[in-house]
Amino acid sequence: MMISKRYNIARHLLAVLVLVLSSIFLMCGCGAKQAGQAGAGKAKEQGQVDVIRLAGGDWGYPTPYAVYPRGPGGFKMCLIFDGLLERDEKGLIPWLAEKYEVKEGGKQYLFTVRNGVKWQDGKPLTAEDVKFTFDYATKNPMVWGALDKKDIQKVEIVGDRQVLITVTEPNAAMLYKLGMVRIIPKHIWEKVDNPKEFTAPEAVIGTGPYRLTEYSKEHGTYRFEAFDGFWGPKQRVKVIEFVPVSEEVLAFEKGEIDLAGITPDVLPRFQKDPQYKIVKSPAFWGYRLLFNMKDYPILQHKELRQAIAYAIDAQELIDKVARGAAVPGSAGILPPDHVMYNPGVKQYKPDLQKAGELLAKLGYDKLDENGIRQNQKGEKLSFNLLVSSGEVRLAEVLKEQLARAGIEIKVQSVDMKTRDARVRENKYELAITGHGGWGNDADYLRERFASYSKGGALMASAPGTPGYQNEELNALLDKQRLEFNDQKRKELIFKAQEILAEDVPEIPLYYTTGYNVYRPAKYDGWMFMFDHHSLTHSKLSYLERG
Amino acid sequence: MEYLFTIWVIVTLNFLLPRAMPGDPFLYMSADEGQEVARFSEEQRQYYLEYYGLDRPVAEQYLSYLSDLLRGNLGYSLYYNEPVSTIILRRLPWTTFLVIAAVLLSTVFGTILGSISAWYREKWPDKFLFFCLILLSEVPAFLLGLVLLFTFAAGLGLFPLSGAITHFANYSSWWEKLLDILHHAFLPVMALTIARLGGMYLLSRNSMTTVLEKDYLRTAWAKGLPKKRIIFRHALRNAMLPIVTRVFLSLGSLVGGAILVENVFAYPGLGHLMREAVMVHDYPLVQGIFLVVTICVLLANFLADLVYRKLDPRIGDYSGIHGG
């Protein structure tokens, strides 16, 4: 912990220094900046490029088992391995499965495996490979992917190229889970007993558009080359190289990499120059304020939670803490960039008067000498807020805001892992946690807020809401899980967001957005997947689009 | 014996400390801003805990840890998915290279500058050097690294921005590769060297001054020996003693400096690795790195002991009396 703290200080110093020094260099007008630009040539419509370089680092050997669970390693692996379905801007699209059918009310999925697909070693892809993959992944959970051991009941080959998957219980999010599983070749993996340690050269043979031609764990470099026998859309990038960089912005300016993620501070450096294009990422990473209603019954009062929501000024949080690069939280939980976001739900605009009225209704109508509200019995409105050391600033601004409404907040800051452990064990009163995945299938509303979901099915990464119960919401969330008509399901999710916005079982504070900068003259095929915030992570970013 | 006991204590602490850290390595509920986190289901978490033996009682884990260590097995990394020893061995040479290069350079230049200063004591070269080097010694190595990075790599484009070699390069000969490696290592080594220079300078200046005032040097002067011979044969040789000890003893602290410098230059050494391992709570890897670093430090101490005895026979006598 010492080290991480020191490192943090170092990182902050570093950020400041980078800023100062880079502005000095900007003023000096370092002439070498545009070197190497002219040679890149002009890209035609859907033109090809030879090499794209991106910021890398070691994220593991790109197989579905050896890749590291954190970080962007999984997406490098996806360049090599295909799933039955793929994601574009709008949703799921057929990929290794040319079509699919949902049967028996979501109990069964019938995938038709595409003809003429070749593994990178020349052997054809068969339905047998698909069946093998699911059986194998059920026995040995893949590092990457959300499929659970107990999701699948059985996998059968029916007909020539058809695979029928029977799941344990119907769930509208299941298609996504099944579609994202990376299909691995039976002829290679059937002999492998310990998939995590299988890192032979043939372990990276997939059906995907790119082959791994070089990987250095030590230096953190990857080199992917277009696979000539790829079944699908033509690759627009012949070689993708990932190299480690010390300073992303610097490396980008020097032309060492072709795309960089940047912070709002350096935006002005690129905004005016037409050779750069800046893209804002969808906001799928957010902070939320949790209430432990189980152990602190006072939090059971909807009015109290609503009052807190009215007392919070998300825009101020964003300006002060996120330097403007975020979107205010939606009371309906799903972020505005989500495909099922309901823009019509009740939102809590900062309103101290309303907050005061709600709190007075609960009996907290007196103020003590510090301006903290209390009731007739003299009980004060005071809460402990558990945060990790990285969120202290956020917590302090929040504390100020709530104090204006007469609510006292005591900030307890611990390291991230301690916070996570305590949240998991419900040892907190209020807590803030931050994580990604807000663009995922809306079924996460069920995982978080359906009162029955605690325990078994609960993801370790998404704690439920202790003590929160709403039968109507439970019913809705149950129903959307079995609704396979997208439009009808969307209506149910819309309704669920309305209930959540009214009940405020938790408060999403804000969702952060990042910025990316690239040179469109070099390459312009970048795209976001409908549920994901990174341009470089999408396989379609490197392929010709129809 | 002492050294063995120290190693045992370190090994045990090493085992206990990561386990005293809160949170389990497969519980990812949150992430640093903007970072992606894999979602583990409860079941997957159990599977991995079992796989790595983290579900067994601590005593049992400790015993198997000790017996593994005796067989040279440092365990299996949770995150990197490889034996810890393999990972460390691949990274160790880079750090060793940086540290040794920095030690050599800073010792040589520190000693030379220190001797010059002592020679011109209280005159302007001494005052000038003293001022500059005191100033430099207060700047942490990583900050120096950043300044060097911005000036020489980013600004002037004389050196690469990061890494230890040119990626995906095809070398036509071994010396071409060597040049490439030296080219990449230049700035990190400079940062470490300059950061250490002040300390070495002060030590050698001090040591030199003391020696220069000794009677036997006055004798040497009186004998009319040449200046060079006096400085290098008579004075420096005796002044070297504390310097040599310091060189060995400071190896450990240099590793600390290297950790931050490596992170500035994205240099693939142990320091870079350490940061990642701590961040992802990879117990076995953190343990392995600590162990290797502490053993290196102990080894350096041990060597310092030996060299000191060799250079100064009186030490040997004392320890003989005390039964050392």
In the structure, what pLDDT confidence band is assigned to residue A314 with cuts at 50, 70 and 90?
very high
Across the interface, do A144 and B260 touch by the CB < 8 Å criterion?
no
Please report the pLDDT score of residue B168 as a whole number.
80
Choose the weakest-confidence range: A32-46, A97-111, A280-294: A32-46
CB–CB of A148 and B150 under 8 A?
A: no
Mean pLDDT of all residues in A41-60? 78
pTM as predicted? 0.79
Q: Which pLDDT value is given to residue B276? A: 79
First to last CA, chain B: 11
Interface subset of B 56-75, CB within 8 angstroms of A: none
Here the tokens at position A466 are 């202790």
- CA-based nearest residue to A300, from A451, A462, A509: A451
CATH architecture for residues B92-323? Orthogonal Bundle (1.10)
The most distant pair of C-alpha atoms in chain A lies apart, rounded to whole Å, by 79
Q: Which residue has the higher pLDDT, A442 or A465?
A: A442
Structure tokens at B97: 């290279």
Residue A128 has pLDDT above 80, yes or no: yes
Least confident segment among A96-105, A229-238, A447-456: A447-456
Option in A14, A221, A421 nearest B168 (CB): A221
Residue B202: HSE in the Cβ half-sphere, 13 Å Cα cutoff: 13
pLDDT at res. A460: 43
Q: What tokens does B194 get?
A: 């300059």
For residue range A75-90, list pLDDT tens digits in order.
999 999 999 999 999 8
Whether the predicted pLDDT of A348 surpasses 50: yes
pLDDT band of A105, cuts 50, 70, 90: confident
* Chain B residues in contact with A394 (beta carbon < 8 A): none
Residue contact A68–B79, C-beta within 8 A: yes
A467 residue type, one letter: G
Are A244 and B23 an interchain contact pair (Cβ–Cβ within 8 Å)? no
Instruction: Decide if B20 touches A, using CB distance below 8 A.
Output: no
Distance from CA of B170 to the nearest CA of A (A): 13
Which token pair is A308?
């807190």
Task: For B142, name the nearest residue in chain A, comparing CA atoms only.
Answer: A10
List CB contacts of A230: < 8 A, sequence separation 6 or more. A207, A208, A209
Q: Are A219 and B164 in contact (CB under 8 A)?
A: yes
Chain A positions touching B167 (Cβ under 8 A) are 216, 219, 221, 241, 243
- 3 state SS of A238: strand
Sorted by where each begins, the domain ranges of chain B are: 2-70, 92-323
Residues 6+ apart with CB under 8 A from A150: A168, B43
Q: Is the CB of A424 less than 8 angstroms away from the CB of B47? A: no
For residues A97 and A114, the answer to whether their CB atoms sit within 8 Å is: yes
Q: Please give the average per-residue pLDDT across A350-356, as a whole number.
A: 94
> Residue A102: which pLDDT band, with cuts at 50, 70 and 90?
very high
Collapsing DSSP states into helix, strand and coil, what is residue A241? Answer: strand
Chain A nearest CA to B5, separation (Å): 25
Q: How is residue A496 written in tokens?
A: 């669920």
Instruction: Give Cα A347 to chain centroid, integer Å.
Output: 23
Chain A contact for B263 (CB, 8 A cutoff): yes
pLDDT at residue A107 in the model: 92
Mind giving me the DSSP string for B65-90? HHHHHHTT---B-TTT-SBHHHHHHH
Percent of chain A, pLDDT > 70? 89
Distance CA B136, CA B101 (A): 19
pLDDT above 80: residue A498: yes
Where is average pLDDT lowest: A122-136, A305-319, B145-159?
A: B145-159
Whether residue A509 contacts residue A317, with contact meaning beta carbons closer than 8 Å, is answered with: yes
Q: Residue B321 has what pLDDT? A: 41
* Tokens representing residue B228 in the block: 């060079």
Residue A457, pLDDT score: 36
Residue-level pLDDT at B34: 61
* Interface contact B27-A416, CB threshold 8 A: no
Residues of A in contact with B80 (CB under 8 A): 58, 60, 68, 217
Gyration radius of chain A over CA positions: 25
Hey, what are B99's tokens? 């540290």
Place of tokens 């040279």: B72
pLDDT the model gives residue B322 = 41
What token pair was written down for A255?
């032309």
Give the integer Cα–Cα distance in Å for A1 and A15: 21
The CA–CA distances, whole Å, from A531 to A88, A283, A528 equal 9, 10, 8
* Cβ atoms of B95 and B297 closer than 8 Å: no
**Whole-number Å distance between alpha carbons of A88 and B292:** 47
As a whole number of angstroms, the distance between CA B286 and CA B271 comes to 11
Distance separating alpha carbons of residues A416 and B281, to the nearest angstrom: 11
Q: What local confidence, expressed as pLDDT, does residue A26 receive?
A: 41
Residues A184-218 as b or e (16 or more Cβ within 10 Å = b): bbbebbeebeebbebbeeebbbbbbbbbbeebbbb
CB contact under 8 A, A4 and B161: no
Identify which has the larger pLDDT, A390 or A155.
A155
B54-91 pLDDT, tens digit per residue, is: 778 888 888 888 888 888 788 888 778 788 888 899 88
Query: Is A216 strand, coil or helix?
Result: strand
**Contact check, Cβ <8 Å, A459/B149:** no
Q: What percent of chain A has pLDDT over 90?
A: 60
| Cβ-based contacts of B181 with chain A (< 8 Å) | none
Q: Search chain A and give the residue with CA nearest B267.
A: A219
**Does A460 contact B41 at a Cβ distance shorter than 8 Å?**
yes
Q: Is the ipTM of this complex over 0.95?
A: no
C-beta atoms of B266 and A25 within 8 A: no
Instruction: Decide: A142 and A181 in contact? Cβ < 8 Å.
Output: yes
Cα–Cα distance for residue pair B182/B101, rounded to 1 Å: 11
For residue A25, pLDDT beyond 50: no
pLDDT < 70 regions, chain B: 1, 21-25, 27-42, 44, 252, 311-324
Q: Contact B154/A61, CB-based, under 8 Å?
A: no
Residue B121 φ/ψ, nearest 5 degrees: -50, 130
For residue A22, list chain B residues with Cβ-Cβ distance below 8 A: 150
What are the residues facing A223 on neighbouring strands?
A: A214, A241
User: How many residue contacts between A and B have a Cβ separation below 8 Å?
Assistant: 198
Other Cβ atoms within 10 Å of A382 Cβ, number: 13
Is A99 in contact with A162 (CB distance < 8 Å)? no
| C-alpha dist (Å) from residue A382 to A290, A308, A411, A465 | 15, 12, 11, 20
- Quote the Cα angle for A509-A180-A341, to 5°: 30
Least confident range of A151-160, A236-245, B31-40, B122-131 = B31-40
Find out whether A531 and A440 touch, Cβ atoms under 8 Å.
Answer: yes
Could you say which of A221, A246, A435 has the minimum Cβ distance to residue B161?
A246
Whether the per-residue pLDDT at A430 is higher than 90: the answer is: yes
CA distance A86 to A114: 13
Q: What is the pLDDT of residue A38?
A: 37
Cβ pair B286, B278 in contact under 8 A: yes
Residue A366: its pLDDT value, please?
A: 86
Helix (H, G, I), strand (E, B) or coil at A97: strand
The tokens for A511 are 């969702």
Mean pLDDT across the stretch A39-45?
43
Name the band, by pLDDT with cuts 50, 70 and 90, for residue A440: confident
Q: Which stretch of DSSP H or E encloses residue A213? A: strand A210-216
Bridge partner residues of A518 (DSSP):
A259, A277
Nearest to B200 by CA among B246, B237, B233, B251: B246
CB contacts of A414 in chain B (<8 Å) are 22
- Interface test mutation site (partner A, options B21, B33, B151, max chain A beta carbons within 10 A): B33
Give dist(CA A379, CA A157) in Å, integer. Answer: 66
CA atoms within 13 A on the CB side of A402: 25
Joined together, the tokens standing for residue B234 give: 């008579």
Report the 10 Å Cβ neighbour count for B262: 27
Predicted local confidence at residue A344, as pLDDT? 94
What is the phi/psi pair of residue A479, to 5°? Answer: -70, -40
Confidence at residue A352, expressed as pLDDT on a 0 to 100 scale: 94
pLDDT band with cut points at 50, 70 and 90 for residue A276: very high
Instruction: Please report which confidence band the pLDDT of residue A29 belongs to, taking 50, 70 and 90 as the band edges.
Output: very low
Give the whole-angstrom CA distance, residue A459 versus residue A167. Answer: 18
Q: Per-residue pLDDT for A98 more than 90?
A: yes
Determine how many CB atoms are found less than 10 A away from the CB of residue A413: 16
pLDDT digit string, tens, across residues B7-40: 888 888 878 877 776 666 676 666 666 666 666 6
